[in-house]
Amino acid sequence: MNRSKVILAAIGAAFLFSGFMVPKKGNKVKTPKGYKLVWADEFDQGTKPDEQNWIYEHGFVRNQELQWYQEDNARLADGKLIIEGRREEIKNPNYQQGSKSWKTNREYAHYSSSCIKSRGKFSFQYGIMEVRAKIDTAMGMWPAIWTLGVSRPWPSNGEVDQLEYYRHNGVAKILANAAWLGKNKRVKWDSAKIPYEEITAGDDGWTDRFHVWKMEWTEEYIRLFLDDKLLNEVDLSKTINPDGFNPFHQPQYILLNLAIGGNGGDPSSTSFPRRYEVDYVRVFQKK
C-alpha cells in the first residue's frame, strides 16, 4: 500500500481514532482481501512510543505481579518497540506499613517493566488486528498482546488475549483467550492453552524469531491465530454478561506489556535484562 492510499484510509477512519503511523518505507503491508488498513504503529519514528497512540501504566497494577511499570522501560530502536524487563530496586511511593493490599504492603519493587496501551487514543470494533513480535520465554516472563472493552469495569468490559505466554500448572504455554462476566459475578473464560513444546516442536530457533499474532473479530466470532494457525475461536453468541450486555459488541483498545512473576513463574534465577520486541501493530477493517 503506498503512502497516499494509507493516508486516505486513515482519513476515512478518522472518526475511530487519533494518531496514525504510515508503514515504514519499504515495508510491504499485506492487506487481507476485502479489508483496508485503518490504523498502524510501525514503531519506526523517534525513540519512544508515540504519545498520539499510547499511554503508560504505572506502578503495581494487576495479578500480584512483581514488576513496577514505568515509562523508562519502553523505547524504540531499529524499527521495533522494545519493552525491557529489569532487575532493579524501586521504592514504592504508595507503601503503607501493615497494609493488607499487595499494591501497598511492598516497600520496594525488585523488578521493572513497561505496559503501553491505546486507551483514549485508539479503539476499534470488529476487524483484523495483526501484531508481529518476538517474545521472551525465560522463567518469570509473561509477555502479552491483548485488548479491553472501552466501557464497564473488568471483566464485564470484555478481554481478548491474542497472546499470553506463561506457566499454567507448571507447564510453559501459549494462550489465546477471551473473558467476560459470568454468573455470580465471576469471570468467565474461553481459553486455549497450548504447551510451548507443542508449538515449537522441531524448531529450536522459534524463540529467536518474530511471529505474527492475529485476531479476526466479527459480530459473530473472534478467531485467534499464531502464524496463521488457528488457536481458538470464540462464539460471541455466548459471551453475554448476566445483564444481557455483550462486551465484544463494543470497541476495544490495545495493550502490549511484559509482566514479571505471577503466572510467569519465579524470575529469581533468571538473568536480566530481558527483551520483548514488537515490530508492528496493524488494524484492518472491511471496506
CATH number 2.60.120.200 given to 41-286: yes
pLDDT in tens, 212-249: 999 999 999 999 999 999 999 999 999 999 999 999 99
Active-site residues: which are they? Answer: 159, 164
Give the end-to-end CA distance of the chain in Å, rounded to a whole number.
15
How far is the C-alpha of 67 from the C-alpha of 56, rounded, in Å? 14
pLDDT in tens, 9-36: 443 433 343 334 455 545 679 999 999 9
Domain ranges within the chain, ordered by starting residue:
41-286
SS (H, E, C) the chain: CCHHHHHHHHHHCHHHECCCCCCCCCCCCCCCCCEEEEEEECCCCCCCCCCCCCEECCECCCCCCCEEECHHHEEEECCEEEEEEEEEEEECCCCCCCCCCCCCCCCEEEEEECEEECCCCECECCEEEEEEEECCCCCCEEEEEEEEECCCCCCCCCEEEEEEEEEECCEEEEEEEEEEECHHHCEEEEEEEEEHHHHCCCCCCHHHCCEEEEEEECCCEEEEEECCEEEEEEECCCCCCCCCCCHHHCCEEEEEEEEECHHHCCCCCCCCCEEEEEEEEEEEEEC
Predicted pLDDT of residue 222: 98
How far is the C-alpha of 174 from the C-alpha of 201, rounded, in Å? 13
Report residue 120: phi and psi, to 5°.
80, -5
How far is the C-alpha of 263 from the C-alpha of 64, rounded, in Å? 9
Predicted pLDDT of residue 90: 98
CB 267 within 8 A of CB 261: yes
Nine cell digits for residue 259: 509482566
Indicate the residue type of 38: V
Predicted pLDDT of residue 24: 57
Mean pLDDT of the chain: 92
Burial class of residue 277 (count of CB atoms within 10 Å of its CB; 0-12, 13-18, 19+): buried
Q: Any residues with CB less than 8 A from the CB of 101 and at least 6 apart, and which? A: none
Total Cβ atoms within 10 A of residue 92: 16
Predicted pLDDT of residue 28: 78
pLDDT in tens, 88-146: 999 999 999 999 999 999 999 999 999 999 999 999 999 999 999 999 999 999 999 99
Strands 159-168 and 187-195, bridge-based pairing: unpaired
Q: Any residues with CB less than 8 A from the CB of 233 and at least 6 apart, and which? A: 221, 222, 223, 224
